[in-house]
Structure 1
């Protein structure tokens, strides 16, 4: 493996300074301007120095997504995978996920997003929650409780 060019490594550091990137995201961005060998070398340096760690990133993002309450477990998984994180890293990040709060997050989200919703709006609310990654059982429980939907 060659050493990173004088431009590739600083470009990678600048991208990481702006926001966290997964290895795949950073690789894709660097390959737009630099060759494969330069990119691989820059990524190897960043990983060796601890600046690029997909497992750590997956854990941080999962915690943030859980905390913001905007997504269910499936939605969080999808968002992490879209960031280019490996299935192994995503599984590890969600290993401690407590599904007991899923219903509470879904009902709070539905109430914030649809404050004046009625039973007639239940299908729209259900589609919204499903798109946010709440499982079908949780969506149905919210619709039954909040909108009397069966």
Structure 2
């Protein structure tokens, strides 16, 4: 089971189905019972060929999630961490991100989920967005925009 060809074929099978982080691949290979040395060699070879690149994967996923306007920055980072991406990679991506996209996401969620706006629903909206990681500033901006566009 630990032959170099077996682990290479299985690794290729995994990366052709979807993009994986290095940590995800390592975990899947460990679960299959491959030796640490064989896993290390396979991962090194995959990196050389460009089949795994955590920075490229993080950028792709981050902007994919941003474009959906469904998630706060905190939620996106949490999802990326679950994929095994390291903090240093995520911080590199975050430096280019501005709050405008997060504000747009909050506004889109408000307009999709809440039809009318009164005092009770403002508090409900605030709690809802806050529990999903949106900043108070962005929630406030989105509420103001929604309130004034509703009149």
Correspondence list, 1:46-57, <5 A: 46-57=46-57
- What residue in structure 1 maps to residue 120 of structure 2? 120
Residues 1:134 and 2:134 aligned together: yes
Q: Spell out, residue by residue over 1:2-52, the C-alpha distance to the aligned partner (whole angstroms, 9 max, x if none).
A: x96221111111111111111111111110012211111111110111111
TM-score (norm 1): 0.83
Q: Quick one: distance in 2 between partners of 1:25 and 1:83?
A: 7
Residues 1:74 and 2:111 aligned together: no
- What residue in structure 2 maps to residue 44 of structure 1? 44
Q: Spell out, residue by residue over 1:106-137, the C-alpha distance to the aligned partner (whole angstroms, 9 max, x if none).
A: 01112113335654333443333223331122
Taking a change above 3 Å as real, the CA distance of residues 8 and 105 of structure 1, as seen in their structure-2 partners, is same
Shift of 1:69: 0.8
TM-score (norm 2): 0.82
Q: Quick one: distance in 1 between partners of 2:123 and 2:35?
A: 50
Q: Quick one: distance in 2 between partners of 1:114 and 1:32?
A: 44
Q: Quick one: distance in 2 between partners of 1:6 and 1:36?
A: 15
Q: Higher mean Cα deviation, 121-130 or 62-71?
A: 121-130
Identify the structure with the greater helix proportion: 2
